[in-house]
Structure 1
Amino acid sequence: MQTLPTPPPERWTLSTFPKDAPTRAELIGGRLVWCAQTGWHMHVTSELQRLLQVQAPDTFAVLYRMAIKLDERTAPEPDLSFRHAHAFDWDKSVLLPDEIALVAEVVTPGSEEQDRYVKPIIYAAMGIPTFWLVERGADDAPIVHEHQRFGGVYQLKRTHIGRLKTEVPFPIDIPLAAPKP
């Protein structure tokens, strides 16, 4: 069993973020937030990353769980992010919002509140143009809700069932199929 680190009196910051924090820990408003992954989440996230990376032009990189800094106390780690390749740096561990074109969160029962309500507000405040909320359909296939930022908030542009086909941030056309055991 892992012992959780004791928070500092003024809350956590990027500079005081504990090196021994639990896996998948994120810094949200000076608090450590984390959620256990499920098999469905892990498969869907890795399959989306694989399929998207194949279609991504050289001007983008599709990244898994890289922190994006809003401020010293908030640096969420989206499940996937689309980073402009011109900003790529192998040694960076925290990205800046202007390097990111799209973020995606794959919802699990334990991450629902953060993924639906908290993180979209943070990503919109960062100025990230596109947000995907990926949910589990009745048949276990992922459903992608594509949101665009307008007036500082995200608005639903379209919901993709069975196939993800969009032009933002680059032409994408991939199947959305249920994971196979």
Structure 2
Amino acid sequence: MTEQSRHMLVEDFEEIAASAPETVTLEFISWRIREKCVGGGSHASAIAWLVRRMYEARPDLYLCARLGLVVEKHRKGRAVPDAVLAPARYFLGDGAWSEAEGILMAVEVTAYDHHALHSDREERPVAYAGVGIPVYLLVDRDAGAVVVHSGPESEHGYYRHRRIHRFGEKITLPEPVGIPLDTEPLKKYVR
């Protein structure tokens, strides 16, 4: 039995995802279909705060929320990060699933769901590093910390650097982002 015959084809997933109701967001990571959780008001507010902060620091970049990305080492995955940072107007003309090339940072804000926590902490770093996204910022509300992954090793699907910063610390996100971030306001977005 071949690898392909044991797993769903990406094209089949895309057809399923396209026909899902607007209230459901589906992803295809590690050969599994998952529903992406809706994080609630505090989750959305944390993302909105990050959007504003990124734009204030770098108006030449846009932090776009909930954009479908082609991910994983062999581009067999489809993920919908909470947000991605890229040059302004970078995604104009793209369809439902954009290529990750050119994205500077993927952002996830944890939802209070066991499966989402596992995905944000374990699967997403592998998927995002696998396509060479330079920085993965995880706002881990459960741990009260931001976790900054950088230095993607695309061939092996991992980040060489991982730094944990407690909410309240002032940090500068690694290049090519290079944006200073005071994480104190993130304390407001923990339930």
Aligned residue number for residue 86 of structure 2: 83
CA distance in 2, matches of 1:66, 1:51: 19
User: Are 2:173 and 1:172 aligned?
Assistant: no
The AA in structure 1 aligned to 2:188 is P
TM-score normalised per structure 2: 0.73
TM-score normalised per structure 1: 0.77
Shift of 1:23: 2.9
Shift of 1:47: 1.0
Alignment of 1:90-169 (within 5 A): 90=93, 92-110=95-113, 111-136=116-141, 143-152=145-154, 153-161=158-166, 162=168, 163-169=170-176
Aligned residue number for residue 36 of structure 2: 34
RMSD (Å) for aligned C-alpha atoms: 2.8
Change (3 A) 1:39 1:57: closer
Change (3 A) 1:84 1:118: same
Shift of 1:64: 0.6
Alignment of 1:5-24 (within 5 A): 10=8, 12-21=12-21, 22-24=23-25
Change (3 A) 1:166 1:124: closer
Does the CA contact (< 8 Å) of 1:101 and 1:129 recur in 2? yes
Give aligned-pair identity as a percent.
22
Which piece of structure 1 moves more, 104-113 or 151-160? 151-160
Q: List alignment gaps of at least 5 residues for structure 1.
A: 1-8
